[in-house]
């Protein structure tokens, strides 16, 4: 699935300058909620399309076969499609850029909502079968299939007395690969997802296996930074099949310390101070009462809860705990709870399913000192919309907070759109903040963002010249006559 396909179609639909200014947001809304009365027929036709065939691949060989089929290098008969389909000729006739037939992928789990523009036919790959996890127990690196659940990685690493370098920002049962093909966020107190991935391997649009990085070491000074490109939008120009991720040593003592606050201002001040301690905590997660109930069960110690992972030997844990308590002064209650990832796989999945029923719209990225304002505004937004709003979140040692609003509302498009718009609006009132969601990317028309988007789209086109991976949709596709009358 493809953010760039959404962006491209939107640009094509608003190519006339007057339309760009006037109808862009109305168009996004109509497309998102599938308001067919408000959309032209050709756009409705595009939005109604779907992949021709869904293939659950078992290994990389099958992925390569699918890409070769999309390139016309292999027959489609084995995939239940006649071999004389037009795509057989796409390379030779040079029609690839106009033909939407290609390969698309789906994440194991989506935190928020689906992409606007569906695949326009072609093969959709379910990567859930690529679920192998290899932890050798010696090196601090693991090979993880794109469909492998993060929890499996966590459990295998734990057996080797290690930890994944990053944790899911929201306790859904994500695959690690959802960080690339989906909208999952992974981070720890110190690391972001991009610094936790050594290598993204996959199949490029030309059918060749590629490694965007190196299996056991980080990629530095080797020319163009393919690893970061692949982590950021790899699924737009290749079919990722496996990741090599960094692990860290699991400290001999790991505690999940809990501090409750009754006031978001105090919470925000505590977060700001926490990130100035210079101590290497493992994670710093936030939640409200309701989310606490799902994650840990029982009654939350307060309306706003900060959970900090503290690891080390006994002496270091004592020092880090003491410093932590000094930094987060202002809490009303404190305690210790079970490490939130140390559940059985079934319990973890069941907990994730509970969160899966909740409506998420994206993530508010802001300075830790502003996290309180973000939380307050999310709550008031919920009240104004007649739904209960809450939050989960994380804080990093960079001083950045990531607040994930959630709402007790049905996941129907109109509601999702409305609440997303509300969050985007409230973020504007907070200094140093950004709303990170796919809709927000579509809405953002600031000049420098537009320029950057131009470059990214150009780059993506260049990396997959034949548009074999996540091909764009077109409003007025030219009919391709491979066998014109009388010449067949």
Partner 1 sequence: MANRLDYAYRRLVNVLGPGRVRRGPLETFVYSHDFAAMPKAASLTFRFEPDFVVLPRTTEEVIRIVRFQAESGLPLVPRGGGTGMYGGAVPNRGGVLVDFRRMNRVVKVDSVARTMIVEAGATWQEAYDRAWAAGLFLPVVPPFALGSTVGGWINSGGVGIGAMKYGSARDLLLNLEVVMEDGTAVQTGSDRVDLGGSPMNLGPLFVGSEGTLGLVTRATLRLHPRPEEIRPVAYSFRSLAAAVPAVRALAASPVRPYHVTLLDPSHLEFVKAVHRDAPEPTAVVLVVLEGPRDENIEGEKVVDALMAAAGGGKMAAETAKALWDERLYAYPMRRISGGLVVCEAIVPLGKLGEALARTRALRDRLKMEVGVHAAMVDANSVAVYPYFLDDEASPMPPARLAFVVAFREIALELGGHPMGVGLFLVFQVPAIHGNAYRFFRPIKEALDPQGRFNAGKMHEIRTKYNFPGLRRVPLSLAALPIRALGALKRLGPRDSHARKYVGPGGKR
Within 89-148, the residues that bind partner 1 by CB under 8 A are: 138-141
Give me the least distance between CB of 115 and partner 1, in Å please: 12
For partner 1, the closer of residues 108 and 246 by Cβ is 246
User: Greatest CA span in the chain, whole angstroms?
Assistant: 86
Pairing of strands 123-126, 53-56: parallel
Indicate which single residue of 3, 46, 343, 374 sits in contact with partner 1 (rule: CB under 8 A): 3
Find out whether 193 and 179 touch, Cβ atoms under 8 Å: yes
Q: Whole-number minimum distance, CB 112 to partner 1, in Å? A: 14
Here's the x/- map for partner 1, 172-191, by CB under 8 A: it reads as: -------x------------
- Distance in Å, CB of 220 to partner 1, minimum: 5
For partner 1, the binding residues in 274-303 under the rule CB under 8 A are 276-280
Nearest residue (CB) to partner 1, 92 versus 220: 220
Q: Are 175 and 128 in contact (CB under 8 A)?
A: yes
The residues that bridge with 435 in the sheet, in sequence order, are 364
Q: In the complex, what is the shortest distance from the CB of residue 282 to partner 1, in angstroms, rounded to a whole number?
A: 10
Q: 71 with 466: CB under 8 angstroms?
A: yes
Q: How far apart (Å, rounded) are the C-alpha atoms in residues 479 and 471?
A: 16
Site for partner 1 in 243-272 (CB under 8 A): 246-249, 251-253
Helices 371-385 + 413-428 axis angle, to 10? 140
Among 36, 42, 59, 161, which residue sits at the site for partner 1 (rule: CB under 8 A)?
A: 161
Torsion over CA: 260, 263, 266, 270 (sign)? positive
Tokens representing 28 are 């996004």
Candidates 29, 87, 106, 320: give the one binding partner 1 (CB under 8 A): 320
Tell me the HSE value of 360 on the side-chain side, using a 13 A CA sphere. Answer: 29
State the residue for tokens 């320029």.
451
CA separation for the pair 372, 337 (Å, rounded): 23
Q: How many residues does the chain have?
A: 488
CB 360 within 8 A of CB 404: yes
Considering the rule CB under 8 A, would residue 432 count as an interface residue with partner 1?
yes
- Of 37, 41, 92, 220, the one binding partner 1 by CB under 8 A: 220
Would you give the binding string for partner 1 spanning residues 36-65, x where CB under 8 A is met? ------------------------------
Complex with partner 1: residue 455 or 488, whichever CB lies closer: 455
Region of 72-80, 87-95, 227-235, 373-381 interacting with partner 1 (CB under 8 A): 227-235
Residue 91, classed as helix, strand or coil, is helix
Stretch that binds partner 1, among 86-94, 295-303, 318-326, 346-354 (CB under 8 A): 318-326
Within residues 370-399, the interface with partner 1 by CB under 8 A covers 397-399
Listed in sequence order, the residues at least 6 apart from 140 whose beta carbon sits closer than 8 Å to its beta carbon are: 162, 246, 247, 248, 249
Q: Shortest distance, CB of residue 290 to partner 1, whole angstroms?
A: 27
Least separation in angstroms between CB 92 and partner 1: 20
Strands 333-337 and 363-367: unpaired
Residue 367 binds partner 1, judged by CB under 8 A: yes
CB of residue 279 vs partner 1: minimum separation in angstroms? 7
In the numeric block, the tokens 């296996």 are attached to 209
How many residues touch partner 1 (CB under 8 A)? 85
CB of 238 to partner 1, least distance (A): 9
Give the helix, strand, coil percentages of the chain, each rounded to 5.
40, 25, 35
Work out whether 194 is an interface residue with partner 1 (CB under 8 A): yes
In the complex, minimum distance from the CB of residue 365 to partner 1, in angstroms, rounded to a whole number: 5
Q: Which stretch binds partner 1 (CB under 8 A): 34-42, 63-71, 258-266, 430-438?
A: 430-438
Q: Which residues contact 4 (CB under 8 A, 6 or more apart)?
A: 233, 236, 456, 457, 460, 470, 472
**Closer CB to partner 1, 336 or 432, in the complex:** 432
Query: How far apart are CB 356 and partner 1 at their closest, in Å?
Result: 23
Site residues (CB under 8 A) for partner 1, limited to 347-366: 365-366
Q: Which residue in the set 225, 332, 337, 474 belongs to the binding site for partner 1 (CB under 8 A)? A: 225
Distance (Å, whole) CA 397 – CA 379: 26
Q: Is 50 helix (H, G, I), strand (E, B) or coil?
A: coil
């Amino acid at each position: 699935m493809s953010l760039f396909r959404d962006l491209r179609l939107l640009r094509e639909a608003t190519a006339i300058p007057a339309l760009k200014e006037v109808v862009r947001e109305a168009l996004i809304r109509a497309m998102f909620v599938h308001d067919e009365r408000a959309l032209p027929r050709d756009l409705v036709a595009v939005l109604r399309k779907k992949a021709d065939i869904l293939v659950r691949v078992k290994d990389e060989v099958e992925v390569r076969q699918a890409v070769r089929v999309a390139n016309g290098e292999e027959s489609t008969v084995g995939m239940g499609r006649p071999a004389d389909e037009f795509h057989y000729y796409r390379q030779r006739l040079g029609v690839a850029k106009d033909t939407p037939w290609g390969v698309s992928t789906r994440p194991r789990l989506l935190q928020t909502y689906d992409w606007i523009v569906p695949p326009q036919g072609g093969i959709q790959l379910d990567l859930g079968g690529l679920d192998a996890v290899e932890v050798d127990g010696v090196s601090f690196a693991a090979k993880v299939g794109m469909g492998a659940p993060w929890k499996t990685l966590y459990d295998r690493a734990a057996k080797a007395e290690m930890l994944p370098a990053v944790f899911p920002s929201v306790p859904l049962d994500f695959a690690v690969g959802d960080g690339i093909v989906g909208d999952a966020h992974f981070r720890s107190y110190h690391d972001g997802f991009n610094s936790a991935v050594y290598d993204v391997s996959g199949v490029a649009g030309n059918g060749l296996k590629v490694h965007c990085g190196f299996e056991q070491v980080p990629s530095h000074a080797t020319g163009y930074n393919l690893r970061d490109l692949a982590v950021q939008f790899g699924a737009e120009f290749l079919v990722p099949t496996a990741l090599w991720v960094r692990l860290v040593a699991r400290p001999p003592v790991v505690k999940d310390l809990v501090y409750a606050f009754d006031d978001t201002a105090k919470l925000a001040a505590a977060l700001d101070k926490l990130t100035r301690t210079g101590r290497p905590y493992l994670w710093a997660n936030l939640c409200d009462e309701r989310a606490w109930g799902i994650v840990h069960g029982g009654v939350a110690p307060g309306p706003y809860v900060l959970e900090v992972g503290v690891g080390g030997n006994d002496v270091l844990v004592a020092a880090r705990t003491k410093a932590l308590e000094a930094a987060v002064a202002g809490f009303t209650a404190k305690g210790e709870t079970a490490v939130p990832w140390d559940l059985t796989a079934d319990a973890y999945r069941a907990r994730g399913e509970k969160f899966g029923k909740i409506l998420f719209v994206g993530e508010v990225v802001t300075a830790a000192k502003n996290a309180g304002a973000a939380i307050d505004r999310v709550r008031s937004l919920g009240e104004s919309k007649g739904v209960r709003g809450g939050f989960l979140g994380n804080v990093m040692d960079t001083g950045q907070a990531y607040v994930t609003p959630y709402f007790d509302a049905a996941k129907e498009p109109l509601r999702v759109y409305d609440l997303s718009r509300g969050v985007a609006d409230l973020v504007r009132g907070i200094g140093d903040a950004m709303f990170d969601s796919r809709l927000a990317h579509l809405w953002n028309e600031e000049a420098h963002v537009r320029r950057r988007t131009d470059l990214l789209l150009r780059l993506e086109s260049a990396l997959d010249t034949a548009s074999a991976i996540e091909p764009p949709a077109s409003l007025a596709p030219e009919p391709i006559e491979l066998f014109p009358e009388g010449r067949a």
